[in-house]
């Protein structure tokens, strides 16, 4: 399904969301089509007094993003292909993306290939993303559970950790709570280590990253595979994620939208369109035109499970 899986930081409110990391978390619409997602974005965008960061969206949010839906929206667009890091981890995803790029070109887009994000490998290798996540997860979860309703078994992350340990047989039969414990070991958001890591994330993702490549090639958007085909849940060996494209937009607080582009053995593979801050109208226009050119989405099938 089309998903505006990142949005400009502050465009939508995070009030009421169970947080992971407030500088990387996003609230964006899921929909069966780009049109659905555009309509929903208009309903949720804009300032919310419960989330101070959303004040930045005043005068920049639209009540109607459907106005940007244009089936000819790819004509004349300059689109860069961010290959380094975001291709090469799954040949099936690469094949779907390559076909999608050919479709973009056929629909009138000017393709710049490659148009690599200069800091892609640095972001991939950096430890600052996880450092920020751990600090913010502790602070944000503590704030969230402190306001939880009656019956909540814990009011702090430390109490959650203790509760999980006391009920380990029921709560952790397959996996532990390593991230909880790593986060609890962090200090407050005034720590120099946190502030330095946050600054590094934003520098690598913004001025030296997405903005730099878009300036250099005068781009309207970047594209790359959203991720590899889905994998089966494995309670013994855990996650089999091979790669994805969400990191630059998440660290920058910039928008990205993923649209079905094809499939591998029946498993959907998406194409991500990524842009600068507050470029949601452009991304919606491009994604909608691509969707109309491909009609790659397939309705879900509810097949009988086999063991």
The band of 42, judged by pLDDT with boundaries at 50, 70 and 90, is very high
Number of domains in the chain: 1
Q: For the residues 174-186, what does the mean pLDDT come to?
A: 96
- Mean pLDDT throughout 143-148? 87
Distance between CA atoms of residues 258 and 28, nearest Å: 11
- Residue 306: C-alpha distances to residues 116, 238, 299, 302, 303 (Å): 42, 20, 21, 12, 9
Q: Does the predicted model carry a pTM greater than 0.85? A: yes
With respect to residue 57, please indicate whether it lies within any of the assigned structural domains.
Answer: yes
The residue-averaged pLDDT of 6-34 equals 87
* pLDDT, mean of residues 35-62: 94
Strand order in the sheet with 221-225: 3-6, 256-264, 267-274, 221-225, 78-81, 110-112
Identify which of 75, 92, 124, 98 has the alpha carbon closest to the alpha carbon of residue 293.
75
Residue 240 above 70 pLDDT?
yes
Which of the pair, 239 or 88, is modelled with greater confidence? 88
Mean residue pLDDT of the chain comes to 94
Range of the domain at 231: 3-120+206-294
pLDDT at 238: 85
Q: Is the pLDDT of residue 5 over 80?
A: no
pLDDT number for residue 304: 83
pLDDT at 99 exceeding the cut of 90: yes
Residue 205 CA to residue 31 CA, distance in Å, equals 27
pLDDT value at residue 233: 83
Q: What is the mean pLDDT of residues 90-117?
A: 98
Q: Is residue 113 in a domain? A: yes
Distance CA 172, CA 166 (A): 10
Q: Between 238 and 178, whose confidence is greater?
A: 178
| pLDDT level of residue 1 (50, 70, 90 thresholds) | low
122, 204 contact by CB (below 8 A): yes
Give the residue-averaged pLDDT of 45-74: 95
* Tens digit of each residue's pLDDT (9 = 90 or more) over 112-140: 999 999 999 999 999 999 999 999 999 99
The residue ranking higher by pLDDT, 135 or 148, is: 135
pLDDT for residue 72 is more than 90: yes
The pLDDT value given to residue 2: 61
**Is 154's pLDDT higher than 80?**
yes
Please tell me the least confidently modeled range out of 1-15, 99-113, 288-302.
1-15
In a domain, 270, yes or no: yes
CATH number at residue 287: 3.90.1300.10
Residue 4: the pLDDT is 61
Answer yes or no: are the C-beta atoms of 144 and 18 closer than 8 Å: yes
**Residue 188 lies inside a defined structural domain of this protein:** no
| In-domain check, residue 154 | no
pLDDT 10s digits, 247-300 = 999 999 999 999 999 999 888 999 999 999 999 999 999 999 999 999 999 988
> What is the structure's pLDDT at 11?
94
Residue 18 lies in a domain: yes
């Amino acid at each position: 399904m089309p998903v505006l899986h990142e949005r400009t930081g502050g465009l939508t409110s995070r009030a009421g969301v169970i947080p992971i990391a407030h500088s990387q978390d996003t609230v964006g619409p899921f929909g069966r089509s780009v049109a659905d997602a555009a309509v929903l974005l208009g309903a949720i965008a804009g300032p919310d007094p419960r989330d101070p960061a959303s004040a930045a969206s005043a005068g920049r949010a639209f009540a109607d993003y459907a106005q940007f839906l244009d089936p000819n929206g790819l004509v004349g667009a300059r689109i860069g292909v961010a290959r380094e890091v975001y291709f090469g981890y799954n040949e099936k995803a690469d094949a779907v993306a390559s076909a999608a790029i050919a479709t973009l070109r056929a629909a009138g887009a000017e393709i710049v290939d490659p148009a690599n994000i200069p800091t892609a490998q640095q972001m991939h290798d950096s430890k600052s993303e996880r450092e920020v996540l751990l600090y913010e997860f502790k602070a944000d979860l503590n704030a969230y559970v402190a306001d939880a309703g009656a019956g909540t078994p814990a009011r702090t992350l430390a109490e959650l950790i203790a509760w999980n340990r006391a009920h380990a047989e029921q709560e952790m039969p397959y996996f532990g709570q390593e991230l909880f414990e790593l986060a609890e070991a962090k200090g407050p958001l005034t720590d120099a280590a946190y502030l330095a890591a946050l600054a590094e994330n934003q520098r690598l993702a913004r001025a030296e990253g997405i903005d730099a490549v878009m300036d250099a090639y005068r781009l309207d958007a970047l594209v790359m595979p959203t991720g590899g085909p889905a994998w089966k849940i494995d309670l013994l060996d855990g996650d089999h994620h091979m790669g994805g494209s969400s990191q630059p937009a998440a660290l920058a607080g910039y928008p990205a939208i993923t649209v079905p582009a094809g499939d591998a053995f029946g498993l959907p593979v998406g194409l991500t369109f990524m842009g600068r801050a507050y470029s949601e109208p452009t991304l919606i226009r491009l994604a909608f035109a691509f969707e109309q050119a491909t009609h790659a989405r397939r309705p879900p099938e509810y097949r009988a499970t086999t063991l």
